[in-house]
Amino acid sequence: MSNKINIVQAVQQALYNEMTLDETVVVYGQDVGVEGGVFRATVGLQKAFGSERIFDTPLSESAIVGSAVGMAINGFKPVVEIQFMGFIYPAVNQIVSHVSRYRNRTRGERHLPMVIRAPYGGGIRALELHSESTEAMFAHIPGLKVVIPSTPYDTKGLLISAIRDPDPVLFLEPKRIYRAFRQKVPEDAYTLPIGKAKIVKEGEDITVVTWGAMVPDVQKAVSTIDDISVEIIDLRTISPMDRETIVESVQKTGRILVVHEAAKSFGAGAEIVSVVNEKAFLSLEAPPTRLTGFDTIFPLPRGEKHYLPTPERIAKKIREIAAY
């Protein structure tokens, strides 16, 4: 059985499937219970599973994440929601100091099967701190995994993997494309491997690595280009990064462009460029390049259109690199 669903529905289905299969899975966060989530990602779950297994919390990100640490230690698999990625910062102490460290601190004696979900990314004409994409800050933390899907199918499979993972996963959902398109997705539970990138389109001349809501933009850009054979890689897991897929691709194409939403400097693109340098230096025919958000705060809506790399800018950059 399969059904045509969008990304936010895929989140809901993954939660539904796992809560059905595993009664230690609990879901909580602000407005996820009665209301079903501000993006409706948890709609219907409280009716299905009751308010013991999916419930609303006080407005306390740090306690949401910290209590999940405790629940995970005591036999549950909590999946907690941070309403927007811009509100994860009050929980950073928990994430850096505990979530990512429990296994190492106890030499493997205790580990935390928990997921922190948060909608991330810009382009939805929102207020301040509703457009953030600071995945690089979290990818730098040893002991944490950072996953970002870009399709309904991947969202469901990766979220289920994240829930079943014995270790903590930060699961960032590309809210700009939450409802952008639908895809046929199996109704039953299935998993996709965390730590594996996906080749969205094979090509010979240049590799474009991207993730999240930028994937369709890159696809759009590439669809306007006939004369260059572009390979598109959807990274899917930011950390641990699938270096193999990237490096093999660049060994073939000799050229690479990284496209992401976040600010350029010290962003995740820098790591990809470095990996390519370290592993495919002699294959490089042009400088590995980043096309990203600016080193600025995400502008409020009336300036927002300038911030995100557009298909036009992506296409132009691809042409420049190909012509190098």
Ligand X SMILES: Cc1ncc(C[n+]2csc(CCOP(=O)(O)OP(=O)(O)O)c2C)c(N)n1
**Which residues of the chain form contacts with a second copy (CB under 8 A)?**
86, 89-90, 92-93, 96-97, 100-101, 104-105, 128-129, 134, 136-137, 139-143, 239-241, 262-263, 265-271, 273-274, 277-278, 281, 284, 286-290, 294-297
When CB distances are held under 5 to 8 angstroms depending on the partner's kind, the choice from another protein, ligand X, a second copy, none that residue 74 binds is another protein
What is the C-alpha to C-alpha distance for residues 27 and 31, in angstroms, rounded to an integer? Answer: 11
Q: Does 59 bind ligand X (CB under 6 A)?
A: yes
Q: Which residue among 43, 55, 73, 87 contacts ligand X (CB under 6 A)?
A: 87
> Is position 306 annotated as part of the catalytic site?
no
When CB distances are held under 5 to 8 angstroms depending on the partner's kind, the choice from a second copy, ligand X, another protein, none that residue 117 binds is none
> Looking at beta carbons only, is 91 or 185 nearer to another protein?
91
Phi then psi for residue 7, to 5 deg, are -65, -45
When CB distances are held under 5 to 8 angstroms depending on the partner's kind, the choice from another protein, a second copy, ligand X, none that residue 304 binds is another protein
What is the C-alpha to C-alpha distance for residues 208 and 211, in angstroms, rounded to an integer? Answer: 10
When CB distances are held under 5 to 8 angstroms depending on the partner's kind, the choice from ligand X, another protein, a second copy, none that residue 21 binds is none
When CB distances are held under 5 to 8 angstroms depending on the partner's kind, the choice from another protein, ligand X, a second copy, none that residue 311 binds is none
How crowded is residue 57: how many other Cβ atoms within 10 Å of its Cβ? 17
Q: Give me the 116-145 binding string for another protein, x by CB under 8 A, dash otherwise.
A: ---------xxxxxx-----------xx-x
Q: Does 133 bind ligand X (CB under 6 A)?
A: no
Smallest distance, Å, CB 40 to a second copy?
26
Smallest distance, Å, CB 83 to ligand X?
5
Q: Does 224 bind another protein (CB under 8 A)?
A: no
Instruction: Print the SS3 string covering the chain.
Output: CEEEECHHHHHHHHHHHHHHHCCCEEEEECCCCCCCCCCCCCCCHHHHHCCCCEEECCCCHHHHHHHHHHHHHCCCEEEEECCCHHHCHHHHHHHHHHHCCHHHHCCCCCCCCCEEEEEECCCCCCCCCCCCCCHHHHHCCCCCEEECCCCHHHHHHHHHHHHHCCCCEEEEEEHHHCCCCCEEEECCCCCCCCCCCEEEECCCCEEEEECCCHHHHHHHHHHCCCCCCEEEEECCEEECCCHHHHHHHHHHHCCEEEEEEEECCCCHHHHHHHHHHHHHHHHCCCCCEEEEECCCCCCCHHHHCCCCCCHHHHHHHHHHHHCC
The one catalytic residue among 111, 130, 260, 306 = 130
> Looking at beta carbons only, is 15 or 170 nearer to a second copy?
170
Q: Which stretch binds another protein (CB under 8 A): 4-12, 51-59, 199-207, 217-225?
A: 51-59
> Looking at beta carbons only, is 59 or 300 nearer to ligand X?
59
> Looking at beta carbons only, is 232 or 275 nearer to another protein?
275
Q: Which amino acid is at 222?
A: V
User: Which active-site residues does the annotation give?
Assistant: 130
Q: Binding residues for ligand X, per CB under 6 A?
A: 30, 59, 61, 83, 87, 90
